[in-house]
Structure 1
Amino acid sequence: MKKKKEQFSNIYLQAVTTVAGYSLYTPSVDDDSVDWGVAAKGGGIGPISAPRLELQLKSTSRDIQDNHFIRYPLNLKNYDDLRMDNFAIPRILVVVLIPEIPEDWLTQSETELCIRNCGYWTSLRGKPKTQNTNAVTVAIPRTNQFTVLALQSIMEGISQGVQP
Structure 2
Amino acid sequence: MKSKAYNKLAGRGPGAVPAILILMCLPDNEDQWMGFSEDSLLLRKCCYFTTVTGPRIESENTTRQISFPRRNLLNVSSLTTILDDNRKRLEAAFSAFAE
For structure 1, the 5+ residue unaligned runs are 1-73
Q: 1:30-82: per-residue Cα shift (whole Å, max 9, x none)?
A: xxxxxxxxxxxxxxxxxxxxxxxxxxxxxxxxxxxxxxxxxxxx222111111
Give the total of aligned pairs: 88
**Greater relative CO, 1 or 2 (CA 8 Å, sep 6+):** 2
Question: Matches of 1:88 and 1:138 in 2, distance apart?
Answer: 20
Specify the code of the residue in structure 2 equivalent to 1:154. I
Query: Which 10-residue stretch deviates more, 129-138 or 83-92?
Result: 129-138
Indicate which of 86, 91, 108 corresponds to 2:19.
Answer: 91
Structure 1 or 2, whichever has the larger Rg, is 2
Post-superposition shift, 1:84? 1.5
| Higher-strand-fraction structure | 1
Normalised TM-score (structure 1): 0.45
| Higher-helix-fraction structure | 2
Q: 1:71-96: per-residue Cα shift (whole Å, max 9, x none)?
A: xxx22211111112425322111111
| Secondary structure in structure 1 of the residue aligned to 2:21 | strand
For structure 2, the 5+ residue unaligned runs are 91-99
| Secondary structure in structure 1 of the residue aligned to 2:22 | strand
Instruction: Using the aligned pairs only, state the percent identity.
Output: 25
RMSD of aligned alpha carbons: 2.7
Which residue is equivalent to 1:117? 45
